[in-house]
Amino acid sequence: MAQHSFDEVLTRFREIPFSEDFDIIVAIADGGVIPAGILNQRLKVRLEVLRINLRDSNHSPLYDKPKLLSPIDFDVKGKRVLLVDDRIKSGATINLAKELMHEAAVVKTFSVNGNADYALYNEDCFKFPWIF
């Protein structure tokens, strides 16, 4: 399994170019919380958390399809949203999150690893340096 140092990953967070502005960052909990926090420091926009889950800590499916675990308590209507997750593997979780953000003006995706509008890496799985 590939490994990337925390410094290397942070450098990518600092250097990834964003071609647009966002009104809100929405982190998919739990995996997207740390990446969204780092992006919040860089982009200086509001951060909210969307509790969706599909997989356990070993990346094995917990459910047949992703589940919304708690109600959405923030408004995205007409806003430009950056939807953040740590890893986009099957796309099931991010697709549900995008559906839930249907009233937003724009929804773009960010992942540390995977296929997203903005991604730091798109390679085989690797352990994130902030995971113990």
For residue 36, tell me if it sits in a domain.
yes
Q: Is residue 67 part of a domain?
A: yes
pLDDT (average), residues 4-15: 92
The count of domains in the chain is 1
Q: Among candidates 83, 84, 85, 81, which has minimal Cα distance to 106?
A: 81
Residue 68 located in a structural domain: yes
Quote the radius of gyration of the chain (alpha carbons, Å): 14
The answer to whether residue 132 sits within a structural domain is: no
CATH number of residue 83's parent domain: 3.40.50.2020
Q: What is the pLDDT of residues 77-114, one digit of tens each?
A: 999 999 999 988 888 889 999 999 999 999 999 999 99
Indicate whether 64 belongs to any domain.
yes
The answer for residues whose C-beta is within 8 angstroms of residue 11's C-beta and 6 or more apart is: none
pTM of the model: 0.89
pLDDT digit string, tens, across residues 25-76: 999 988 899 999 999 999 999 999 999 876 655 666 666 778 888 889 999 9
List the domain range (segments joined by +) for residue 72.
Answer: 2-127
